[in-house]
Structure 1
Amino acid sequence: MKEKLQKFGRTLSAMVMPNIAVFIAWGLITSFFIADGWFPNETLAALVEPMNKYLLPILIGYTGGKNVYGQRGATVGAIMTIGVLVGAPIPMFIGAMIAGPLGAYLIKKLDELLKDHTPQGFEMLINNFSAGILGFVLAIIGCLAINPACLFLNDMLNIGVSFFVEHGLLPFVSIIVEPAKVLFLNNAINHGIFSPIGMQEALDTGKSIFFLLEANPGPGLGILLAYCFFGKGSAKASAPAASIIHFVGGIHEIYFPYILMNPLLLLAVIAGGASGILVNVIFGSGLTAPASPGSIIAILGMCKASSYLGVILSIVVATAVTMFIASIILKASKGTEEDLEEAQEQMKDMKNTNQEVKSVSYHELRKIVFACDAGMGSSAMGAALLTKKLKAAGIDIEVPHYAINDIPEDSQVVVTHVSLVARVQERLPNVVIFPITNFMGGTEYDEIVKKLQ
């Protein structure tokens, strides 16, 4: 179930993550130039609505189509997406997430059907007309069928959101959000669910609290600070550096293994997350656009001018509450370090099992892939750490980083978090996998280097 959720979440986030820069540009334009922005400008403020209503959904649909079937999928997915957008009174992010992949899937199947029936010399003609005719049909279907269905779904979501907001229940969302994040569903939740809702709200009010429900770095910082003071062994030693990377770099995945060592810490992040949301509700604070990565720098950059006090206070409160509860749990837990050592032993067992089945010529190895869910945060950091250790050992091997779905098929060796191993094996069953339990775990990287030596 966890793997299926991660795979579905990855599909959603993979449509949004490549377009984060556009979200940030839209957020900055909104923050600066709308009527109550930093520098109100009626002419420049006119950029806000078309970017939100057309540019962003089309890019999402295009990216979703490309993820399924390359450029042809992207083209047909974008055509179907514009059909979904026409006449819609709201930004159709959900519609784009449906239309893009669906259009790509259908052109892929049509190509497979026509492949053996295309006369030699007519390939370009048939390819162009098949995509054009299918796009024509799908644009109509998008306008007449998917558009109304998405509007209905949007109304249902708004009813649900309004219920939570009007009854003061929004903080209780943390009961779902914080455990889901630890299962590496953070990008899916933030960009697949909260961002579309937040963008619609921001278009009306200039800000949205939904951009902060998952992105608040306070709960993760509280966990890592608790380990700094009350942790044991290697977990305590690595926590200070992890705190900086998490809070300033915005890589939230880095604190997930610390919770997995002691699952009771979920209570701490749930309480901290709920406290941060409550502060934002009280102060009516929000961001103008998604903050990605979830860095304090990105959050303050996307902060509404009138929301700085509430946003900063929400982070401080979330950190303090999480740290307080986590400290009690850590002090009461005598086996935290043993849990870490046990996890590392399990990792070694997985390595040994993997190596018995698969082999690779390390003399010919020129690339080790570091993979994570989104391919941007924790994998980039892990690749940099491993590269540094390889160079120090005199080993000249490239370490690129990828999202799991984007790992090249010719890869021989993959490094990834132990909870993501099954997904890598499902995609590439013949690669050698080095699982790690902690993205900051220097000893684990040392073991990989030793193996290569």
Structure 2
Amino acid sequence: MATPATADAAPKTSARVRVQQFGTFLSNMVMPNIGAFIAWGLITALFIESGWLNLGGGERAVWGADSWVARIGGWGDFADGGIVGPMITYLLPILIAYTGGRMVYDARGGVVGAIAAMGVIAGAGIPMFMGAMIMGPLGGWSMKKLDALWTHRIRPGFEMLVNNFSAGIWGMILAFIGFFLISPVVEAFSNAAASVVNFLVQSQLLPLTSVFIEPAKILFLNNAINHGILTPIGTNQALVDGKSVLFLLEANPGPGLGVLLAFMFFGTGMAKGSAPGAILIHFLGGIHEIYFPYVLMKPKLLAAVILGGMTGVFVNVLFDVGLRAPAAPGSIIAIYLQTASDSYIGVTLSVLAATLVSFAVAAFLLKTDKSKDEGDLAAATADMEAMKGKKSSVAGSLTGAGSTGEHTGPIHQIVFACDAGMGSSAMGASVLRKKIQQAGHDDVTVVNKAISNLTDTYDLVVSHQDLTPRARQRTGSAMHVSVDNFMNSPRYDEIVDLLARTNSPADVTAGAATAGGASAAGASAAASTPSTTASTTTASEPSERSDKNSPLPLEAIVLGGRADSRDAAIEEAGGLLVGQGAVGPKYVEAMHDREASVSTYMGNMLAIPHGTNEAKGEVNRTGLSFVRYDEPIDWNGQPVRYVVGIAGVGDDHLAILSQLAGVFLDDKKVAVMDRATTPEEIHDLLSEVSL
């Protein structure tokens, strides 16, 4: 329960959220009873006049007036003792009313709600689903209020008597109210709504409903439409005609399938990789919400689902098809089970047509998308869950989204996350790793990853302050630390202090013991590094470094850069990468795109511009460029004197960035770079930076 302060601070509920809540309430009354709808639909498909067991003929003509088929069907005359009519008239509305009442006031509310619903059922000439959705919750709520009036005033021993008679008397009163007042109003509304639907069908305008229904699905307003309007009216139509097209307006899986197929063939990143799994869940499992994040990630794809939905509805109307009962969930299997015997071809064509149109539009939009950003499926999933009001297990299974909360206890796994997982995170991870090792925390590992590749398995996540909200969406159970630069952020020292508090001496000792072999090996390797470096740094080194296969050839080193702005500096550093053949010209465009999304400023007057993930195809080999400026350049409000352009193949760049971090954290080496007058001096200083 929220505290008063929390309640005061809570924002007002929007109209959309209220509609969602209303739709969810209606859905919670209907969904637990879908099994009964399916049973009624199957019985209808088998035994009505045009059902499967009647072989296309009338009950009385094929089987005889007194046959068991005729008695089970009972179509059109409930007095005959059939099953179909009584189920739709009594069983289904009473189940809905009981469920609604129980939601409000447990079993007692359910019983009173069911009694109240009998009033609207008996007073109407059509199945009273809407009436049941009104009287069920009303019965539970009003009974709860009445019980509160005398709960503490009943003499001991009379509780059962009062409870039973109060429920019976109040249920009777509500049944009268339903019969005389509610039933005529609901019946008039149902008839008016049915007239509107018939007008749309006759005027060939029913496909226009997709303009509202498809976006409403993605915003989780579909329950209010589907269970509040379409299911009641559609059921009434099915009672008369044996089928209703309204059951297909929202359930058709074609629009969502087309979008997912487009991502599978033309998408990028996680969206492309997860699309095949989403297709199975959506099309066979019937969980349509699985494709909602893909559309939310690129909202222009609403055009694809709307046009696909309109096409499907148009085909349904054209072939006069329908389902006998609601298909829930919206699986193609459930749809075929509820398809009327004369509608299989039309239903199949409607799903195919909706899929093809949605796929064509989505594929065109994805192929012509000028944005270099592949989109963040995890962020879109989080947005979807925020609209839904709860976690989505199916969407979370594809994005790797974890539970909410914050890590407590010892910290052993730290990840430095950035947009691409290349420049920023590798540099930051190297700096932080060195500080943590120097503090003696050998039990702590520090790695770097792209945000899109994060899983909720880390104890602490470090990210740029602009990216922390996205990182939280993928690692909800971790502790998060935001930094504003990657080289010398004071937050690194705070993390080291945090480790001293959270990781007990026992943890450190145990971690050091288990990592002893690795540490010793690392120390041995480190010890051998100086001699190796010394042996390779000879007078002939510059000439060897000028080879085109070197990550930093002499011709890619510029002292006294000419750029006077951030964008010009990116052009200059990128042009040097292109000049040495490390990348294609389009890679420079991707460097600008990366900078537009997240700054590549590292701290210590250093910037490392690099391309986006989508530009990996433009990288021919791992390469570096180095530009020093006489006067610092304004880099998003920070002074930058050194610009190192980078392009990496595979994981080559990780080792290079780690070595660069060591150089730029060393004040003596930075001073040498300041005084250097030739590219060879810079080259010698950076000779340890190699593949």
TM more than 0.5 = yes
State how far apart, in whole Å, the 1-side matches of 2:219 and 2:200 are: 24
Given the alignment of the two structures, is residue 51 of structure 1 paired with residue 79 of structure 2, yes or no?
no
State how far apart, in whole Å, the 2-side matches of 1:78 and 1:199 are: 20
Instruction: Give the drift of 1:90.
Output: 0.6
Q: If each structure's helix is expressed as a fraction of its own residues, which one has the higher value?
A: 1
The runs of at least 4 aligned residues of structure 1 exceeding 4 Å deviation read 370-375, 382-390, 441-450
Instruction: Give the drift of 1:86.
Output: 0.5
Closer/same/farther in 2, CA of residues 269 and 445 from structure 1, 3 Å limit: farther
State how far apart, in whole Å, the 2-side matches of 1:230 and 1:386 are: 18
Instruction: Give the drift of 1:331.
Output: 1.7
Instruction: Give the drift of 1:451.
Output: 3.5
Q: Which residue number corresponds to residue 95 of structure 1? A: 131
Closer/same/farther in 2, CA of residues 155 and 124 from structure 1, 3 Å limit: same
2:126/2:236 contact within 8 Å kept: yes
2:219/2:387 contact within 8 Å kept: no
Instruction: Give the drift of 1:116.
Output: 2.8
Given the alignment of the two structures, is residue 176 of structure 1 paired with residue 207 of structure 2, yes or no?
no
**CA offsets 1:400-436 (integer angstroms, 9 cap, x no match):** xxxxxxxxxxxxxxxxxxxxxxxxxxxxxxxxxxxxx
Instruction: Give the drift of 1:85.
Output: 0.5
Q: Which residue number corresponds to residue 19 of structure 1? A: 33
Closer/same/farther in 2, CA of residues 389 and 444 from structure 1, 3 Å limit: closer
Q: 1:155 aligns with which of 181, 188, 191?
A: 191
Q: Which residue number corresponds to residue 112 of structure 1? A: 148
TM-score (norm 2): 0.52
Aligned length: 378
Q: 1:273 aligns with which of 296, 299, 309?
A: 309
Q: Which residue number corresponds to residue 2 of structure 1? A: 16
Q: Which residue number corresponds to residue 306 of structure 1? A: 342
Q: Percent identity?
A: 52
Closer/same/farther in 2, CA of residues 148 and 342 from structure 1, 3 Å limit: closer
Q: Give, as a single letter, the amino acid of the residue that structure 2 aligns with 1:85.
A: I
The structure whose Rg is larger is 2
Instruction: Give the drift of 1:339.
Output: 3.4
Q: Which residue number corresponds to residue 471 of structure 2? A: none
Closer/same/farther in 2, CA of residues 304 and 125 from structure 1, 3 Å limit: same
Instruction: Give the drift of 1:112.
Output: 1.1
Structure 2 residue matching 1:22: 3-state secondary structure: helix
Instruction: Give the drift of 1:372.
Output: 9.8
- Unaligned runs of 5+ residues in structure 2 are 1-14, 55-68, 74-81, 404-451, 458-473, 480-691
- Unaligned runs of 5+ residues in structure 1 are 351-369, 391-440
**CA offsets 1:17-58 (integer angstroms, 9 cap, x no match):** 000000000000111111111102212212111000110000
Structure 2 residue matching 1:216: 3-state secondary structure: coil
State how far apart, in whole Å, the 2-side matches of 1:342 and 1:48 are: 46
1:231/1:336 contact within 8 Å kept: no
1:61/1:74 contact within 8 Å kept: yes
Q: Which residue number corresponds to residue 77 of structure 1? A: 113
Instruction: Give the drift of 1:74.
Output: 0.3
1:261/1:336 contact within 8 Å kept: no
Instruction: Give the drift of 1:449.
Output: 8.9
Q: Give, as a single letter, the amino acid of the residue that structure 2 aligns with 1:155.
A: N
State how far apart, in whole Å, the 1-side matches of 2:386 and 2:159 are: 37
**CA offsets 1:147-175 (integer angstroms, 9 cap, x no match):** 11111111211221122112111000001
- RCO comparison, higher one (Cα < 8 Å, 6+): 1
State how far apart, in whole Å, the 2-side matches of 1:336 and 1:25 are: 50
Matches within 5 A, 1:16-415: 16-40=30-54, 41-45=69-73, 46-335=82-371, 337-340=373-376, 343=379, 379=392, 381=394
TM-score (norm 1): 0.78
Q: Which residue number corresponds to residue 438 of structure 2? A: none
Q: Give, as a single letter, the amino acid of the residue that structure 2 aligns with 1:34.
A: I
Instruction: Give the drift of 1:5.
Output: 1.2
Instruction: Give the drift of 1:380.
Output: 5.4
Q: Give, as a single letter, the amino acid of the residue that structure 2 aligns with 1:3.
A: V
1:262/1:336 contact within 8 Å kept: no
State how far apart, in whole Å, the 1-side matches of 2:340 and 2:231 are: 16
Q: RMSD of the alignment, in Å?
A: 2.7
Closer/same/farther in 2, CA of residues 87 and 255 from structure 1, 3 Å limit: same
State how far apart, in whole Å, the 2-side matches of 1:134 and 1:185 are: 34
State how far apart, in whole Å, the 1-side matches of 2:257 and 2:223 are: 18
